[in-house]
Amino acid sequence: MSLYAIGDLHLHFQSVLKAPGQLHGKVWKKHEEKFMKNCMKTLSAEDTLVLVGDHSWGKNLSECEQDLQYICDLPGRKILTRGNHDMFWDSKKTSALNQLYQPRLTFLQDSYESYQEYALVGTKGFTFEGPFYLDGRGRIMGWDEKAEEHAKKLVDRELQRLRKSFELAKADGYQKFIMFLHYPPTNILEETSPFTDMAEEFGAEQVIYAHCHGESRFYDSIHGEYRGRTYRLVSGDFLRWKPQKILD
């Protein structure tokens, strides 16, 4: 029995791919076939797979039905968290989604799921991604301060959701945590952030995130051991569609 994660499947069985340029490279060609094959090889019915957002390009639930069916058809228990492109998932209607898809999928939001002695907590997260203003040599000289102000509000809201999830798990007696985000925990300007602080406050052993696509973005945030925790980027194109093992 093992715990795996991946993010950014960006499925589009029913919807038009309107993806930015970096989602059109070779790695994206028939990516859903590659991923299904890798899952069939790696995962068993006893395993758990956490999918950390950007599941589908569909604009609403009816445009996502085949994408979600594909996820249902993957082996093992499937837990989904929200990404910035998941228009089908209104955060206020998470319980309706869970009702619709139980027991096949779990949509995780403002809550936690257990895995052995661990509580799995997850939310979309947020990080300021610019626009940054560069000089002729590509050095950052400034950024859009209005956008940065707005980003702070989104960060605060996501932090509240994350805190609630950790506290629920703690109240139920959990002392070991794995934290899942869609956005990276830090942006290119930061060494730490309110998300790395929260991971440290609650003692999360690992912080799993996605959202960074294309080679130029893979190293925007933290990889590996950092301040006592393990950080892992699990975007599908970074992993070449092989689910990442998180725990045995």
Complex with Fe ion: residue 107 or 115, whichever CB lies closer: 107
Among 31, 55, 161, 211, binds Fe ion (CB under 5 A): 211
Report which of 247, 180, 190 is spatially closest to residue 210, judged by C-alpha positions.
180
Shortest reach from residue 182's CB to Fe ion, in Å? 6
* Contact code string over 7-46 relative to Fe ion, x by CB under 5 A: -x--------------------------------------
Select the span of 38-46, 48-56, 90-98, 137-145 touching Fe ion (CB under 5 A). 48-56
221 contacts 185 by C-beta, under 8 angstroms: yes
Shortest reach from residue 153's CB to Fe ion, in Å? 18
209 phi and psi, to 5 degrees?
-145, 170
Is 125 one of the binding residues for Fe ion (CB under 5 A)? no
24 contacts 55 by C-beta, under 8 angstroms: no
CA-derived radius of gyration, the chain: 17
Count CB-CB contacts under 10 A for residue 181.
Answer: 28
Complex with Fe ion: residue 9 or 120, whichever CB lies closer: 9
Complex with Fe ion: residue 57 or 174, whichever CB lies closer: 57
User: From CA 46, how far away is CA 35, in angstroms rounded?
Assistant: 18
Complex with Fe ion: residue 151 or 247, whichever CB lies closer: 151
Is 217 one of the binding residues for Fe ion (CB under 5 A)? no
223 contacts 231 by C-beta, under 8 angstroms: yes
Residues of this chain, 55-94, that bind Fe ion according to CB under 5 A? 83-84
Element (H, E) at 5: strand 3-6
Contacts to Fe ion by CB under 5 A: 8, 54, 83-84, 211
